[in-house]
Chains A and B, each alone.
Chain A
């Protein structure tokens, strides 16, 4: 069984690698990429908190996250900017992995990656402090 705690630990292990990538143009692509995957695990911890994606071997692909955002809304949870943060983060991370802009371009977006991750982490941590509402 995959617990929220396991995803949080994975997210934190990713985050622990960000320090050395926090300065310098050439490191920005990896900063964005790793921080995105930390965000993915924070979101999986959120979903696991609601009992989704917790069976052994089960992992919610991040392309399916919008479906789970809808499920959260159906449970009456206000997402604020969470969905938009994830969409923006996903697009930025895609550019970091696959596009070939010059390193200063990625460096100029590093703060965005940090802001996206901060927002997603804060949401997931806040949710973890509250019991999920009973399933309707």
Chain B
């Protein structure tokens, strides 16, 4: 019976090869989740989503040019959630600057109900930090 599972499950082309073929029921469920997740990621963006992400990209480029952020990257987008990593100058790593930054990101995605998982880091690294005194 277990062998038949290999035959009824046809993996989509492009699925990461490390995804194991299911043998047990638990593995089958895990496999199905991996396929659904993969399928979600390769779904083409709608026009609205593309516009929203372009808007966000433009906003962040502007912030970078004005020196309000040091750098940014847009990570995984799953259709309703996008990961946004911002690096801010150390002197702006304060609530008074961060709250408007979060609000700007959400506004750029506004109307599409895309959740922005924003992580903000400072450009100060431990190696750069002044020695404790």
Contacts and interface: CB of A to CB of B under 8 A. Distances in A.
B28 to A, nearest CB: 26
Contacts of A100: 126, 129
Contact of A109 (B93, B99, B117, B129): B93
Contacts of A104: 130, 133
A88 B105 CA distance: 14
B115 A101 contact: no
Given A84-B103, A88-B99, A105 B124 contact: yes
A103 B7 CA distance: 60
Contacts of A116: 95
Contacts of B118: 87
A102 B120 contact: no
A102 B93 contact: no
Nearest to B102: A84
Given A101-B126, A102-B133, A105-B129, A66 B99 contact: no
B102 A87 contact: yes
Contacts of B131: 102
Interface residues of A, number: 21
B93 to A, nearest CB: 7
Contacts of B122: 95
A34 B72 CA distance: 30
B124 A81 contact: no
Contacts of B117: 66
Interface of B: 90, 93-95, 98-99, 102-103, 115, 117-122, 124, 126, 129-133
